[in-house]
Structure 1
Amino acid sequence: MSLVHVHDLNVSYGARTVLSRVSLRIDKGEIVTIVGPNGSGKTSLLRAIIGAVKPAAGHVQRAEGVRLGYVPQKLHIDETLPMTVARFLKLSGHVTAPQINEALTRAGLPDVSRAQLSKLSGGQFQRVLLARALIGKPDLLLLDEATQGLDQRGSAAFYQQIEQVRQDTGCAVLMISHELHVVMSASDRVICLNGHVCCEGTPAVVASAPEYRALFGTGTGGALALYRHEHDHHHHHDDHTEAAE
């Protein structure tokens, strides 16, 4: 039984259909990445899976008792508001100090529970959001462009942390990413979305699919070539930011 099974999902906002007939499954322990151009419905898909958006048609079936953890794209916090990391993490419900410390350690941020939120770097704040998602011991971790605004090194470190979390907890991961080199190095499966599922499969299969190349214009194996460059540290990846859909 899959953790989540999305079946023929349609999502509309008024007269505008953003997702049509999208079907996918997420199985235990796998890392699945969704790629696609701006406005392709990626965020809407994640929101439908967590139940924040009501489908116009189709349905999302979650395994019984499955726990989801959600790391949003960004969260605006009033910088003038004095709040420690521990206090912020307690806002999500009844949480003990040991649970907070364990989640922060898993997120790669031990010893910051007393730090002021406003003093954290962008990368540290994203890890606090990751810790918040991990407190509930999720079976499936959902990440929406979680490294937006981080530099390349910070972003690579964050995704390594996600891989570590999967190894330590066995949770599955569904993430939206525009960083193709990350997709190639970190995913078991890639789903290319553009209002519908254009293609899906292993990173190598998707990178060579015509639909993928039409969207990203990378040429044959371009994304894989990019991935190899990344690993040779010769290629500077230009981080384009993606507007929330």
Structure 2
Amino acid sequence: MSLISATGLTVKYGTQKVLNKIDMSVAPGEIVTIVGPNGSGKTTLLRALLGLTPAKGKVQKKPGLVIGYVPQKLALDPTLPLPVRSFLNLPRSHTPQQIAEMLDRVGVPGIETRQVADLSGGQLQRVLLARALLERPDILILDEPTQGLDQMGEAGFYRLIEDVRQASGVAVLMVSHDLHVVMSASDRVICLNGHVCCEGKPHVVQNAPEYRALFGYGTQGALALYQHAHDHNHDHGCDHDHDHVHNAVTRKDDIEHAG
């Protein structure tokens, strides 16, 4: 059973259709990444799944589903005194031990008394992740969680996400622009451009014509470097015969024509 799914999800802003008949789902323990060009509706899709943006179609959630949400950025008044410990106790209180253990788990131990406004971008993203994980979610939903981080920071954050999934079994649905890292961090990639262009395993989507039409070949080198270092974590069940790539890609247009 899917943790969360969408059927025929459509969103309009005025007369402009931002999302058109999106069908997608996330299974327990799965890491699914949504990629697409600017303006393709990635954040809108997350917000529609969360119920924050009005949409037509159907969103189904597993009964009792707990969602941990990590936003793209946090709008806080920099003059507002807000220690990390106080921030992590919103909206629900946790014990000092729970907070300390979670901060250690996400790689920023001992910063409970630091002001949130004084944290670096990487530290803030890990604190936001800690806050989401303290709720013991079934699924993490992350909206471009590494925006503003350098390449090493991006790779480190995504490896942390993989470690968290491995340790807790939490599912992950994330939007990202970091294509070379995404391809190694994900079980499945959904390529979005107002509709689902294609979806499948990362190496399959990377070679799909629809993906190439949007992103070209520019990420190949970085992808190869990252995968070389982490092949032992990401090759389970993957078919590397690129002659069969076209058979493995789910194309929205093909499905519609067949129907």
Please tell me whether residue 98 in structure 1 is matched to residue 87 in structure 2: no
Instruction: Tell me how far apart the structure 2 counterparts of residues 165 and 229 of structure 1 sit (CA, whole Å).
Output: 23
1:150 alignment partner, SS class: coil
Q: Secondary structure at the match of 1:129?
A: helix
Structure-2 residue corresponding to 1:227: 223
Matched, 1:36 2:32: no
Match of 1:112 in 2: 111
**1:225 to partner: Cα distance:** 4.1
Q: Give the C-alpha shift of residue 96 in structure 1.
A: 2.7
Deviations 1:191-220 (A, max 9, x none): 0000000000001110111110001122xx
1:22 is aligned to 2:12: no
Report how many residues are paired.
229
Contact 1:207 1:223 in 2 (8 A): no
How far apart, in 2, do the equivalents of 1:171 and 1:11 lie?
28
Which one has the largest radius of gyration? 2
1:52 is aligned to 52
Is 1:172 equivalent to 2:187 in the alignment? no
Q: Which residue of 1 aligns with 2:181?
A: 182
Whether the 8 Å contact between 2:6 and 2:60 is mirrored in structure 1 is yes
Aligned-partner SS, 2:198: strand
Cα distance between partner residues in 2 of 1:135 and 1:48: 24
Please name the residue that 2:255 is paired with: none
1:14 Cα deviation (Å)? 1.8
Deviation at 1:231, TM superposition (A): 5.2
Task: Give the conservation status (yes or no) of the 8 Å contact 1:184–1:223.
Answer: no
Give 1:93 shift: 2.3
CA distance in 2, matches of 1:18, 1:171: 29
Q: Report the counterpart of residue 156 of structure 2 in structure 1.
A: 157
1:155 match: secondary structure: helix
AA partner of residue 226 (structure 1): A
Equivalent position SS for 2:98: helix
The residue aligned with 2:6 is 6
**Residues 77-116 of structure 1, C-alpha deviations (whole Å, 9 max, x = no match):** 2222222100111122233323322332232222111112
- Mapped contact 2:181–2:226 kept (Cα < 8 A): no
Residue 254 of structure 2 corresponds to none
Residue-by-residue CA offset, 1:100-142 (whole Å, 9 max, x unaligned): 2233223222211111212211100111111111111111101
CA contact (8 A) 1:92 1:132 kept: no
TM-score by length of 1: 0.89
Name the residue aligned to 2:195. 196
Tell me the TM-score normalised to structure 2 length: 0.84
What secondary structure is seen at the aligned counterpart in 1 of 2:32?
strand
Contact 2:4–2:26 under 8 Å retained in 1: yes
For residue 226 of structure 1, report the CA deviation from its aligned partner: 3.1
Structure 1 distance, partners of 2:211, 2:158, is 23
Structure 2 spans left out of the alignment, 5+ residues:
230-259
CA contact 1:191–1:201 (8 Å) conserved in 2: yes
Provide the rounded CA distance (Å) in 2 between the counterparts of 1:51 and 1:107.
Answer: 28
Q: Which amino acid aligns with 1:38?
A: N
Q: How far did residue 224 of structure 1 move?
A: 4.4
| Equivalent residues of 1:204, 1:224 under 8 A apart | no
What is the alpha-carbon root mean square deviation over aligned residues?
Answer: 1.5
